[in-house]
Chains A and B, each alone.
Chain A
């Protein structure tokens, strides 16, 4: 380090080396899992299993895209898992009761937007810490979802409902379309609009934005609203996939989403990162879970292993930040 600063000519610049040094943890995890799975399980690199992984990852990717924006503003949204459960329960209850699908979609998105509004205003306007606010909404969303179903599952969904997961449009499954659309919209928002520049700036220096006389609060609330709306959309794929809804379907999803975002190279400090990494991160988490399933590792161990992965990823990230 000191050597390089004193003698800049000693530093060999190489694009490959730079990539190896700076690539988000997700690339390494994916590569490692690829090698391990190729050796141990013949079932992994089959079209059927890879399609399965892609479908599994769709819900996680969509939620993680919203989570990326939240984390870029130095925030966190722990409520996304239970909010997904609440949206799923509300929409399926309406559909089963015979209401038209469009009204169920409107209600689900309304719930996502409302929870985002609550989170965002308490964080941006009242200045409360994000993890405490979203933990509060976590409890509220979970309670309402459980009360709505009386603790039971919503079953016997109409046949057309499965289209959200099983449908195919132009030879590509609907969940993949949904992920691609969510990615495109988020990309445009983040890199081509004023909103996007504010997202990075809020994480970088919120105070400066405020002093510059901009309407920071509005954009800050918008980030949580957007994350809530994406989660509402993801809930349809999730419930269609399970062909049922239960208040707890979203439990732990926020955790996988945070893991995907961090593995994808988005940092908790100063608005570093982006959404391309998040998709790779979601794939890495999906492949990790799928691979652990194929290797015969039980769900209970998976929970602990993903916990270790998330901590290691953030730890490596902060250690690398020190050296840079």
Chain B
């Protein structure tokens, strides 16, 4: 046995090292952020602000959860923000006219339909995922503009607003929703055959296909799930901000991608997970909270998101592989 040990492939060492690097660097990032913000801003370490950060992190998590699973398969979904925007417009319009149930159905159905279309374009249409979902981004934006005609809807019923702005025993409802979603997705990814298939497809799609996995239907499922979760996130977002207009989803794509990258999920697929995204959401929420507390202009927000994306992906690429070289 030991004579053949060196013949065995050693991908596991790379994955462990990558994991160690990701966990350590994120832990350091959180500690540095908390210490710096606590020193610079007296309001940071208050109960009210902690609740704010957690709620912000939960919203970030809701928006990035579906994307994480798409990225695990080695794809990308650039349409999430636009789908969220379209779903938000449709449901806000219905809910503000008193059709609460139909509003919820409309958001979920719009998300599911757009997501399934993405999945079919990627699998049956054989279109690279970043092109298919980029096209879908503009289709969903366009339909959102057509539907809203520049109007803004506000004033949603208090009962509905509970899911975005309410509290249960002092904990914001979005935090509880995010926790529940986290548990469901974590079990799906690590406790089911479906989850193994998602990692296998991301790791090596050809091997997954040759070993008899239904790659196409799994991929369609993943994109459909991402769309559905965007529709669901739309409900929480409009309940939180109590308004919707056609531009509501425009600035949500960069933060969602930054969350996934901060979470250490590899853009090449197969490595990472939903737990990383939860940590990424927390870091991003701390950054946004810090910018608000320190009075940084909102103009800088998208630039900061862009820089976070570049730095975290670059760090994982360089840091992870250097650890690998050291060990081997």
Contacts and interface: CB of A to CB of B under 8 A. Distances in A.
Interface of A: 76, 78, 122, 126-129, 131-133, 135-144, 146-147, 150-151, 252, 255, 258, 262, 268, 298-308, 310-311, 314-315, 318-319, 322
Q: How large is the interface on B (under 10, 10 to 19, 20 to 34, 35 or more residues)?
A: 35 or more
Contacts of A138: 254, 306
Interface in B268-325: 268, 297, 299-307, 309-310, 313-314, 317-318
Nearest to A247: B299
Nearest to A321: B126
B261 A146 contact: no
A311 B145 CA distance: 20
Contacts of A307: 135-139, 142
Contacts of B318: 126
B303 A305 contact: no
21 contacts: A128-B267, A129-B267, A132-B313, A135-B257, A137-B306, A140-B307, A141-B306, A143-B306, A255-B134, A258-B134, A301-B142, A303-B142, A304-B146, A307-B138, A307-B142, A308-B135, A310-B138, A311-B135, A311-B136, A314-B131, A314-B132
B128 interface: yes
Given A147-B297, A147-B299, A311-B135, A76 B130 contact: yes
Contact of B146 (A262, A301, A306): A301
Interface string B132-169: 10111111011101100000000000000000000000
A304 B139 contact: yes
A144 B303 contact: yes
Contacts of A142: 302-303, 306
A268 B305 CA distance: 27
Given A143-B306, A144-B303, A311-B136, A131 B142 contact: no
A138 B110 CA distance: 28
A315 B306 contact: no
B132 A311 contact: yes
B59 interface: no
Given A122-B310, A311-B125, A143 B301 contact: yes
B43 to A, nearest CB: 25
B121 interface: yes
Contacts of B131: 76, 258, 262, 268, 310-311, 314
B299 A151 contact: yes
Contact of A268 (B76, B128, B141, B310): B128
Nearest to A74: B128
B202 to A, nearest CB: 13
Nearest to A300: B145
Contacts of A298: 146
A303 B137 CA distance: 10
A311 B134 CA distance: 9
Contact of B127 (A151, A252, A311): A311
B254 A143 contact: no
10 smallest beta-carbon distances between A and B, as pairs: A143-B303, A139-B306, A304-B142, A300-B145, A303-B142, A307-B138, A307-B139, A311-B135, A136-B310, A139-B302
Nearest to B136: A307
B323 to A, nearest CB: 16
Contacts of A150: 299
Contacts of B138: 252, 255, 303-304, 306-307, 310
Contacts of B314: 122, 126, 128
Interface string B195-212: 000000000000000000
A216 B261 CA distance: 27
B317 A303 contact: no
Given A129-B268, A135-B257, A305-B142, A318 B126 contact: yes
B142 A300 contact: yes
Contacts of A132: 76, 257, 261, 267, 309, 313
A126 B306 contact: no
A256 to B, nearest CB: 10
Nearest to B121: A311
A318 B125 contact: yes
Contacts of A315: 121, 125-127
A86 to B, nearest CB: 11
